[in-house]
Amino acid sequence: MRNPSNRESNDQGPRRNKQITAKSVLVIDEKGNKLGEMPTRTALQLAQDRGLDLIEVAANARPPVCRFADYGKILYEKKKRTAKAKKNATTITVKEVKFTPSTGDHDFNTKLKHVQKFLGKGDKVKVTIRFRGREMAHKENGEALCQRLIEALNEDTPVCEVEMKPQFMGRQMTMILAPKKL
């Protein structure tokens, strides 16, 4: 059966209040002033008198360093910082467009528009050219198709840059395009 008093010690974060097991601690108050070394019970009583928590800052120091602070406020500010960082983070997805060396002009133009749309949204695009049967004998057609695609994308204004040049992997040629950084 679980001991309810051990539940607090399983929490994440620094030890605080009654979780601190050292006999004496070096105490820093909420303004950053060093109060000196004192027994843990006395430090805990001082913190409670001020309506704050006693939080262990440096557990490996001798004696351990503790500070007076509002632990709930620290958790709240940390949660806010991580939420803001997550909000500002950008996720880049990789979209794939597949061609064959014998792709016709109309299909090429349709897939070109898809690539432009993906790059416009800020996504990377993986261009895959699949070779079937005798098409493997004419790998230069795949390279020419890749070059034609790059030229068509960057015709008026540079829209993309080649992140990975065309490479053969088995029966496929792949190339990765990334949106142009401003």
Which of 88, 49, 57 is closest to 74 using CA atoms?
57
Residues 37, 81, single domain; the answer is yes
Residues 31, 62, single domain; the answer is yes
Residues 171, 125, single domain; the answer is yes
Residue 11 pLDDT? 56
CATH number at residue 162: 3.30.110.10
Residues 108, 66, single domain; the answer is no
Question: φ, ψ for residue 170 (rounded to 5)?
Answer: 70, -120
Domain endpoint, select from 85, 103, 132? 85
Residues 143, 107, single domain; the answer is yes
Q: What is the average pLDDT value for the chain, to the nearest integer?
A: 85
What pLDDT, in 10s, does the model give residues 57-68?
888 888 889 889
**103: containing domain:** 94-179
CATH number at residue 53: 3.10.20.80
Residues 103, 150, single domain; the answer is yes
Name the most confidently modeled range: 49-58, 81-90, 133-142, 168-177.
168-177
Percent of the chain with pLDDT over 70: 93
Does the predicted TM-score (pTM) go above 0.75? no
Q: How confident is the model at residue 182 (pLDDT cuts 50, 70, 90)?
A: low
Residues 136, 109, single domain; the answer is yes
pLDDT average, residue stretch 158-174: 88
What pLDDT, in 10s, does the model give residues 84-94?
888 887 778 89
Q: How many domains does the chain have?
A: 2
Residues 113, 146, single domain; the answer is yes
Domain endpoint, select from 42, 63, 85? 85
CA angle 106, 107, 112 (to 5 degrees): 100
Residues 156, 106, single domain; the answer is yes
Residues 104, 65, single domain; the answer is no
Is residue 156 within 8 Å of 114, Cβ to Cβ?
Answer: no
Q: Supply the DSSP string of 53-111, one letter for each residue.
A: EEEEEETTSSSPEEEEE-HHHHHHHHHHHHHHHHHH-----EEEEEE-TT--HHHHHHH
Residues 101, 175, single domain; the answer is yes
Residues 79, 104, single domain; the answer is no
Residue 115 pLDDT? 92
What pLDDT, in 10s, does the model give residues 117-164?
998 888 899 999 999 988 888 888 889 999 999 999 888 877 888 889
Residue 1 pLDDT? 42
Residue 110 has pLDDT above 90, yes or no: yes
